Amino acid sequence: MSDLTKNVKPLDNFDWEEFENGAHVNVSKEELDKAYDETLNKVSEHQVVEGTVISIDKKEVIVNIGYKSDGIIPASEFRYNPDLKVGDKVEVYVENQEDKKGQLILSHKKARLSKSWERVNAALDNQEVIQGYIKCRTKGGMIVDVFGIEAFLPGSQIDVHPIRDYDQFVGKTMEFKVVKINQEFRNVVVSHKALIEAELEAQKKEIISKLEKGQILEGTVKNITTYGVFVDLGGVDGLIHITDLSWGRVDDPHKVVELDQKINVVILDFDDEKKRIALGLKQLTPHPWDALDPNLKVGDHVKGKVVVIADYGAFVEIQPGVEGLIHVSEMSWSQHLRSAQEFLKVGDEVEAVILTLDRDERKMSLGIKQLKEDPWETIEVKYPIGSKHTAKVRNFTNFGVFVELEEGVDGLIHISDLSWTKKVKHPSEFTQVGADIDVVVLEIDKENRRLSLGHKQLEDNPWDVFETIYTVGSIHQGKIIETLEKGDVISLEKGVEGFATPKHLVKEDGTQAALGEELPFKVIEFNKDSKRIILSHSRTFEDAQREEKKAAKKARVKKDKEDSIKIDNQPAATTLGDIDVLAQLKEKMEKGE
């Protein structure tokens, strides 16, 4: 019996026989209205009452609350409950008993809101499972209609698996648990994952209790990261590290597995509580080294691709999972150990020679310089002593210049072999790194793989000519170009330099010669072997003065000698006059004059 019929009460003195026969019933209109009103509920506006759904369509839901007219509620207010059907009891809020059309206006949403906060708190306290309608996406999760309240569903709480497409949940009605309420701001957080976890926890414990190292299980790829792949083993997650995906090098796990792919894995290890489970995929296939050609040996040529490169060398994969190292020293016959990046790059296809092979340790070393002939095997043929070549300057030392004639063939030009005439203090004054320089082979040291080279030997020794020009005693015009602690450097003709000590730089007026002055210099020493010329400016005028004095003295001596000869040649006869003179002289001497 409906609420409408159970409240009908017939009049006590109503004559049904007379009514059925169409006879006039002696009842007033007021009494009829009163009887009619008493059969209906008394409804006040702005109160919550319970009603019965009597009709549902896409736009509206018709609800009977026992009033003289039925109420209309928008169907959108029932989106949270897709299972709503005719006959269901629902709470409604009376907004208006009668609008302009005489229609009763109800709201289900407002009725829910009036008690929703109490119901949400009760659901949290009682761990009750409630229904909610997912309205839309928001940052980090979804907005859910729960009892008319907009609650937040974090993305991590939608499911036990990571969600990649949130939009698929919009518009769905799901079961939730209230997990957190902020009373001050009236924020509600719900979770669907919490409903699943309880069921999975029991399943998880059962799986964990049976785990053993070496056990092979089927799992589903749950997440792919740069360092590995997470696999769901049925409620328990394990990690396949990137190095355990394949025997070969893996730069991107996406190239090996796909999301949601079913794969078999082997348990490699786990902690005491079995919370961290290490899985392996490559361990399900034989190790590639075990399948390596048994006839492969040292000296054989192999081909492969560079998969990893570092300063010290390059790893070459000759077949999946089998790699060999080409050390940088095995890339070139040159003794200059440079970076491997100068020779190879990742992805290069190379041919190499096996240098060492250890199948037990699964290690192999390779070389590519061995594909070329060692230039030092026949060094005397290509670079005989006295042969001339062009080399490239590699670096300097205080004593010379290191040059490279070709890859693997180095030589040294000693500083003394750079120039016949110029006194080179450091090689950087003469050339620069990277420059080409012409050389001649002086010596070959095959054992130490080093050539002695010369640059000045490309020209004739000018000191053979200088020996005839700068003879001791010869005078030449020179310019003071450098002042040193023990004297000055003098630039002479033919590009040769000499040296003068301070005492030989005193000018005729007594002053000291200065830097940049051009003066005559006399050669006072010439040494061809040590390539040394000692000069003196002072001697150019001192020697002249000395010669003049010497000549004057020589002239005096000659005159005195001539006078003495004249006296000796005079006659011995003595005149009376002479006797008188002698007498006078004797008298003076006796007087002491």
Average pLDDT over the chain, rounded to an integer: 80
State the pLDDT at residue 208: 76
- Backbone torsions φ then ψ of 96, nearest 5 degrees: -155, 130
What are the tens digits of pLDDT across the range 505-525?
988 888 888 888 889 999 989
Q: Are 480 and 489 in contact (CB under 8 A)?
A: yes
State the pLDDT at residue 570: 56
State the pLDDT confidence band at 571, using cuts at 50, 70 and 90. Answer: low
Domain 210-284 grouped into CATH 2.40.50.140: yes
Buried b (16+ CB within 10 A) or exposed e, 169-204: beeeebebbbbebeeeeeebbbbbbbeeeeeeeeeb
Residues 227-233 have a mean pLDDT of: 90
- Judged against a pLDDT cut of 50, whether residue 423 lies above it is answered with yes
State the pLDDT at residue 2: 43
Domain 288-371 grouped into CATH 2.40.160.20: no
pTM across the whole model: 0.41
* Of 14 and 247, the one with more pLDDT: 247
CA angle 255, 217, 243 (to 5 degrees): 40
Domain ranges of the chain: 1-37, 40-111, 127-196, 210-284, 288-371, 375-458, 460-593
State the pLDDT confidence band at 291, using cuts at 50, 70 and 90. Answer: confident
Which of 451, 303, 330 has the alpha carbon at shortest distance from 387? 451
State the pLDDT confidence band at 337, using cuts at 50, 70 and 90. Answer: low
User: How far apart (Å, rounded) are the C-alpha atoms in residues 285 and 279?
Assistant: 14
Domain 127-196 grouped into CATH 3.30.930.10: no
Residue type, 551: A
State the pLDDT at residue 5: 45
Residues 86-108 have a mean pLDDT of: 78
Q: Which of 13-27, 111-125, 524-538 holds the top average pLDDT?
A: 524-538
Residues of the chain above pLDDT 70, percent: 83
Domain 40-111 grouped into CATH 2.40.40.20: no
Residues 434-441 have a mean pLDDT of: 88
Residues 556-561 have a mean pLDDT of: 70
Q: 375-458 and 460-593: same fold? A: yes
CATH number for the domain running over 375-458: 2.40.50.140
State the pLDDT at residue 40: 46
Q: Are 147 and 133 in contact (CB under 8 A)?
A: no
Residues 66-74 have a mean pLDDT of: 81
Residues 340-361 have a mean pLDDT of: 88
Range 460-593: architecture per CATH: Beta Barrel (2.40)
State the pLDDT confidence band at 98, using cuts at 50, 70 and 90. Answer: confident
